[in-house]
């Protein structure tokens, strides 16, 4: 289960944060995909149309998964941020029966779409044009025998936000004025459901919807006096987490600068990290022709926050709460010949008080 939010800072920056669990494990890494790096979509041979091969125009940094050189959550040097989200209720990927030899679209594996968009697009406007010619196909992840059900949320420095969902392989783009996404149901359902909570009241309401939209229906109402949040659902379900994420991000005060916005976003996301044993889901193995489901644990493995404007990628893991950062614009590996990987420091702590430092009355 994953949750993505957006908050604003007074220096006109977008800060985006996500809790990540699906597809990640202790072997996951932060990777930097350099400019001019050639990638190939991993698509079953039976598909009649050409697979989508591409050469990156922009360098990107983010978390990989499935043991593959593919980013699931990251940002590129132009400031485009894309996050992959588990979507169990998705309406299917294209199959060899639905993709014809005369199709003008090009096939790509769903778990590679995030990397493709980060490598080839500079903003949400380019993403919208690009996905018109892309079809997501029923492609098994190598070494895992799974076809992950995915959807995607994109942000850029202008404040635009969209959600991309697959309907039989065709990509549907939906504007998302809330800047929030969790697992299923569809984004249309979430945007309808969250309006049931618009009249919730806060003593310190802040509209974290950027000026790219004139839609004021997403503003929480300001009232004087006590706070009334009695209507917020508290269960660890995608629907409930979407409502809470919307309320928390909308009422978060605009911080004086981006750094404070990053720290505030980490604090908000603490409310959406799922501990081990809390929830379980279904893992699908095989493709459309031969599927099997097994139970798997849903738990937060890593939490990331992105300074969109400055292409800084902050992250911490469930086993090491120390925040780490990759400043993409200051890295020397942007033109490296190959992908650069950074191991997650999944374990570790700093002992700040030693026994020898204690006075006798405390020993």
Q: Tell me the CATH class for 3-346.
A: alpha beta
Distance CA 46, CA 2 (A): 33
Which residue in this structure is represented by tokens 């590996």? 333
**Closest to 297 in 3D by CA, of 108, 30, 22:** 22
Q: Are 134 and 52 in contact (CB under 8 A)?
A: yes
Predicted local distance difference test score (pLDDT) of residue 48: 64
Query: Phi and psi of 110, rounded to 5°?
Result: -60, -35
Give the tokens for residue 128: 């919208």
Distance CA 38, CA 299 (A): 33
Question: CB-side exposure of 111: number of CA atoms within 13 Å?
Answer: 25
Predicted local distance difference test score (pLDDT) of residue 205: 45
Query: Phi and psi of 82, rounded to 5°?
Result: -130, 135
Distance CA 286, CA 265 (A): 37
What is the DSSP code string of 210-274? Answer: -TT---GGGPPEE-SSS-B-TT---SSSHHHHHHHHHHHHHHSPPBSSHHHHHHHHHHHHGGGPP
Give the tokens for residue 235: 């269960």
Q: Is 201 helix (H, G, I), strand (E, B) or coil?
A: strand
Distance CA 320, CA 134 (A): 38
Distance CA 168, CA 131 (A): 14
**Closest to 306 in 3D by CA, of 35, 65, 77:** 77
Residues 6+ apart with CB under 8 A from 270: none
Mean pLDDT by 10 residues, the chain (363 residues): 90 93 69 93 72 88 87 96 89 77 76 95 96 87 82 94 88 94 91 81 52 53 50 85 92 92 95 73 50 57 93 89 89 88 68 53 47
**Closest to 21 in 3D by CA, of 318, 319, 324, 342:** 318
Distance in angstroms between the alpha carbons of the first and the last residue of the chain = 44
pTM over 0.75: yes
Predicted local distance difference test score (pLDDT) of residue 289: 46
Give the tokens for residue 110: 């769903």
Residues 6+ apart with CB under 8 A from 183: 1, 2, 85, 86, 87, 88, 238
**Closest to 186 in 3D by CA, of 89, 287, 73, 261:** 89
Predicted local distance difference test score (pLDDT) of residue 68: 85
**Closest to 202 in 3D by CA, of 218, 182, 226, 186:** 226
Predicted local distance difference test score (pLDDT) of residue 347: 58
Please count the other Cβ atoms lying within 10 Å of the Cβ belonging to residue 78.
Answer: 19
Entry field: residues in the chain = 363
Q: pLDDT tens digits, residue range 299-321?
A: 788 899 999 999 999 999 888 88
Query: Phi and psi of 71, rounded to 5°?
Result: -90, 135
Please count the other Cβ atoms lying within 10 Å of the Cβ belonging to residue 135.
Answer: 24
Cis peptide before 185 (omega within 30 of 0): yes
For strands 53-55 and 38-40, give the pairing. Answer: antiparallel
């Amino acid at each position: 289960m994953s949750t993505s939010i957006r908050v604003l800072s007074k220096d006109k920056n977008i800060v985006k944060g996500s809790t990540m669990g699906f597809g990640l494990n202790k072997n996951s890494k932060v990777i930097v995909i350099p400019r001019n790096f050639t990638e190939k979509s991993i698509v079953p041979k039976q598909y009649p149309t050409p697979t989508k091969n591409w050469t990156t125009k922009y360098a990107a940094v983010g978390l990989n998964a499935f043991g593959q050189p593919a980013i699931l959550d990251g940002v590129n040097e132009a400031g485009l941020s894309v996050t992959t989200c588990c979507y169990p209720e998705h309406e299917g990927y294209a199959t060899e029966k639905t993709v014809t030899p005369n199709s003008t679209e090009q096939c790509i594996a769903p778990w590679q779409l995030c990397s493709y968009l980060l490598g080839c697009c500079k903003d949400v406007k380019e993403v919208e044009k690009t996905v018109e010619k892309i079809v997501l196909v029923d492609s098994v992840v190598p070494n895992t025998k799974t076809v992950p059900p995915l959807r995607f949320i994109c942000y850029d420095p202008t404040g635009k936000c969209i959600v991309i969902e697959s309907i039989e392989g065709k990509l549907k783009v939906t504007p998302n004025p809330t800047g929030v996404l969790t697992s299923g149901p569809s984004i249309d359902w979430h945007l309808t459901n969250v309006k049931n909570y618009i009249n919730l009241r806060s003593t310190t309401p802040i509209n974290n919807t950027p000026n790219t939209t004139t839609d004021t229906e997403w503003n929480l109402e300001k009232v004087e006096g006590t706070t009334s949040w009695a209507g917020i659902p508290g269960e660890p379900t995608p629907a409930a987490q979407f409502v809470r994420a919307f309320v928390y991000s909308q009422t978060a005060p605009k911080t004086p600068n981006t750094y404070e916005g990053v720290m505030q976003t980490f604090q908000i996301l603490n409310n959406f990290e799922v501990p081990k044993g809390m929830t379980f889901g279904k893992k699908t193995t095989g493709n459309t022709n031969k599927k099997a489901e097994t139970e798997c644990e849903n738990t937060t493995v890593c939490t990331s926050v992105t300074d969109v404007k400055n292409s800084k990628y902050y992250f911490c893991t469930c086993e090491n709460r120390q925040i780490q950062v990759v400043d993409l614009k200051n890295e020397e590996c942007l033109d490296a010949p190959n992908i650069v990987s950074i191991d997650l420091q999944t374990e570790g702590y700093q002992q700040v008080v030693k026994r020898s430092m204690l006075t006798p009355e405390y020993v």
